[in-house]
Amino acid sequence: IKCLPLIDFFTISGMTNRKDMIDEALIRPGRLEVQMEIGLPDEHGRMQILNIHTETMRTNDKMSSDVDINELASVTKNFSGAEIEGLVRAAQSTAMNRLIKATSKVEVDTEAIEKLKITRADFLHALQHDIKAAFGSSKEELDGFLSQGIISWGEPVTRVLTDSDLVISQIRNSNQTSLITMLLEGPPGAGKTTLAAKIAKGSDLPFMKLCSPENMIGYTESAKCQVIKKIFDDAYKSPLSCIIMDDIERLLDYVSVGPRFSNLVLQAMLVLLKKNPPQGHKLLIIGTTSRKDVLNDFEMLPLFKTVAHVSSISNSEQLITVLDSSEVFTEKELKEVRKKTDGKWLFIGIKTLLALIDMAKQMESGLRAEKWFTPNMLLLP
């Protein structure tokens, strides 16, 4: 590089996926001094890339008429150029596999070339089973929290979902706010993580990532910080992103005896929660906690601009709504439960209640209200 002044019309271009690992001496002025970040392609860019990689198919009449490039560009959010190329190859492989005869011997149809057509179904199969965006979403993880759906058992749930709709509208439409933070707080078992997953999936943002203590069991403090930082760095590469920081006190290794916590992780989270994404990018952070008081002591609570309380089931009407939606209890049993709980205050999380309902399925019909209800509920006069 130092010899460049002696050579006319000579340009050196370098490419890397890990700029953070390059020696700073190599990118200082006089060397590789001009740096340009090539971000993920937008929908128009993805359409152009798809047209390039499917041009040979169209020229040779090997692409079915039901393939819509505009549709593929729309559903491949946050795909890089290499991932789009891989998608096209995977669709071709799927189409070719249809022409292989599944017998005791592997036989290929002699007229395979003439019959070969890559269809819309081949692309969708490749999307679902073969190619996933590195900067895509954790939909499988989120679906796991939503396996039983959302039961709107009362005003507390409706209020949280209404607040979340405003937050999603803001992250999509506001030109002034690039970082939006929302905290769901409430007692254990109230369904905070499920609501966070519902909000994230409902937003339909291109990048959705779950930052959970379950994925960091056995990690050192430094390793946790690196994982959390990488999640945020990946989110910054997408124009619209959502991060769920689940069970924040567990991420901090908080223990009330002492008290003890990881100061290294705390400081990292405090910095990341108030760091704005790059220009032209937006980030929604949804946190969940059962210890709002602890987050307040850690000076983290003010960093969440929207705080929504997720309450437990507290009265008979809310309880009956959940029991009725489960379709486990008979009308007679529901009336008996209503009679026992009418006028009393309850305190039971939806997560705990659903587990008890599943237990009630194993009991004999007619005895559920008597045997299941009394020992498992906390009644306050």
Reported as a single tens digit per residue, the pLDDT across 69-88 is 999 988 888 788 888 999 99
- DSSP 8-state secondary structure symbol assigned to residue 289: E
Query: In this structure, how many other beta carbons lie within 10 angstroms of the beta carbon of residue 30?
Result: 9
How many other CB atoms sit within 10 Å of the CB of residue 242?
28
Question: For 316-380, which CATH class?
Answer: mainly alpha
> What pLDDT score does 381 carry?
43
Half-sphere exposure at residue 259, Cβ-oriented, CA atoms within 13 angstroms:
12
Give residue 286's pLDDT. Answer: 95
**pLDDT at res. 370:** 67
Q: Which fold has domain 139-309?
A: Rossmann fold (3.40.50)
Catalytic residue among 54, 193, 288, 289: 193
**Residue 282 pairs with which residues in a beta bridge?**
240
Q: Does residue 193 carry a catalytic annotation?
A: yes
Element (H, E) at 250: helix 248-251
Q: How far apart are CA 202 and CA 168, in angstroms?
A: 9
- 192 assigned to active site: yes
Q: Where do the structural domains in the chain lie, given as residue ranges?
A: 43-129, 139-309, 316-380
Query: Element (H or E) spanning 107, and its range?
Result: strand 106-108
Which residue numbers in the chain have pLDDT < 70? 1-10, 101-113, 136-137, 366-381
| Residue 324: φ, ψ to 5° | -65, -40
Please tell me the distance from the alpha carbon of residue 95 to that of residue 245, in angstroms, as a whole number.
41
Is-catalytic flag, 274? Answer: yes
Contact 53, 91 (CB under 8 A): no
Give Cα 193 distance to the centre of its chain: 11
User: Strand 306-309's sheet: what is its strand order?
Assistant: 207-211, 240-245, 282-289, 179-185, 306-309
Look up 62 and say whether it is catalytic.
no
**Bridge-partner residues for 185, per DSSP?**
289, 309
Cα distances (angstroms) measured from residue 354 to each of 147, 318, 332, 349, 361: 12, 13, 20, 9, 11
> Which candidate in 19, 230, 274, 361 is catalytic?
274
DSSP 115: H
The active-site residue out of 54, 122, 192, 253 is: 192
pLDDT of the residue at 295:
94
- Separation of alpha carbons 266 and 285, rounded Å: 16
Give the count of beta carbons closer than 10 Å to the beta carbon of residue 126: 21
CA distances from 312 to 162, 189, 206, 249, 276 (A): 18, 8, 32, 20, 34
Secondary structure tally for the chain: helices H, strands E: 17, 9
* Domain 43-129 shares a fold with domain 139-309: no
Res 59: pLDDT: 86
- Which CATH number among 1.10.8.60, 1.10.240.10, 3.30.70.3270, 1.10.520.10 corresponds to the domain 43-129? 1.10.8.60
Phi, psi of 158 (to 5 degrees): -60, -40
Q: What is the DSSP letter of 256?
A: T
The conformation of residue 343, written as its DSSP 8-state character, comes to T
pLDDT of residue 1: 53
Amino acid 271: pLDDT:
95
Say which of 247, 289, 292, 352 is annotated catalytic. Answer: 247
